[in-house]
Amino acid sequence: MENNEYEVVRITKEGVKDICYLMNAVGNSETNEAWYQDKFNTSFTGVSFVGYVAYHIETKEPAAFYGVFPCFMMCNGKKTLVAQSGDTVTNPKHQKKGLFVFLAQKTYSLSKDLGVELVFGFPNDKSKNIFYNRLNWIRNNDFVKYGFEVFSFPLNRIMRRLSLIEIYKSYVNFVCSFFPTVDKYPQNSLNNETSCYLFRDENYYEYKKKNGNKIVTILGVTIWFKIDHSLLIGDIWFNKNMNKRQVVIAIKMLSFFLGLNRAELIVYKEYFLDKFLAQIGDSKFKISTGAINLNSINTPIAVVHTWADSDTF
């Protein structure tokens, strides 16, 4: 990339509108400034708005963006500042200029200066070659997805078609009011299975609530979920001696009352939930996970995840 072709500026609250511009340029018109401002406001970590926008100097047009979202990880008993690699987008007019790699490297340098020790993420098929081969990421295990079909009146689908999603959200709140909520936010379900997992406290849960997710307990099963076209479960807690059928019934019952015809769990391969669900159904596909150790490039850290770790949950 020619440095004299682009000006690179750290993202700010005011600059979020330029990320929306870029998202619209690639056909993602569902984003809005308020949502991105909440997403980049990770003040509970002491660090916010971490990333860079590249502007085309001649036209002043936003050309590309790369950013990360700080959070905490518990690793070998130590609470550590880390970040998830999140939104990355390049204006079609400015592709093949090396902006993705350039902005990522600049963001990692900023992150390290801010005390971030590791950046993790879930590269898709289009980007994973760049992350693993050009940005020195080390691949960890994969996510696998399990799905359950649910016989229910398709209220969610109907309300979406009628553009009545706000009314549907009110209905979801009404349904959830009948189930007990947690008195104390639960820790990551993987905390007893690994030495490195994302740390959750009240501040983290409050931050994630902005994505519209909820926690309820049904039939002794606590489910952290959000709703898209199906029930998306980010994490789940239950007694490991519990009957497998009871866990599935709880998931399907929640889906039924919410008017959803499908429930999905995306879980970390070869850990408890994967082994548990493999006895009930088949996994359909996998999602890559990886990380870069900012303090020691090429030194792996075996981080494990739940789907709730994703910035989209």
Which residue range(s) make up the domain with 160? 144-288
Radius of gyration of the chain (CA): 20
Among 189, 284, 196, CA closest to 235: 189
Q: Do 107 and 195 fall within a single domain?
A: no
User: Do 282 and 157 belong together in one domain?
Assistant: yes
**If you average pLDDT over residues 277-306, what whole number do you get?**
84
Query: For residue 44, what is the domain's CATH number?
Result: 3.40.630.30
Q: What mean pLDDT do residues 6-15 have?
A: 92
Assign residue 239 a region (left: φ > 0; alpha: ψ between -120 and 50; beta: otherwise).
beta
Considering the domain architecture, whether residues 112 and 37 belong to the same structural domain is answered as yes
The answer to whether position 309 is within a domain reads no
Domain check: are 272 and 165 in the same one?
yes
Residues 11 and 72 in one domain: yes
- pLDDT at position 183: 73
The rounded distance, in Å, linking the Cα atoms of 124 and 142 is 12
Q: Which tens digits make up the pLDDT trace of 82-124?
A: 999 988 889 999 988 899 999 999 999 999 999 999 999 999 8
Judge whether 239 and 217 are in contact, CB under 8 Å.
no
- Report if residue 109 sits inside a domain: yes
Given a cut of 70, is residue 1 above it in pLDDT?
no
What is the average per-residue pLDDT within 232-237?
95
Average the pLDDT over 223-240 and give the result.
Answer: 94
Compute the mean pLDDT over every residue in the chain, rounded to the nearest whole number.
91
Tell me the pTM: 0.91
| Tokens representing residue 190 in the block | 């993987």
Domains of the chain: total: 2
Whole-number pLDDT of residue 282: 73
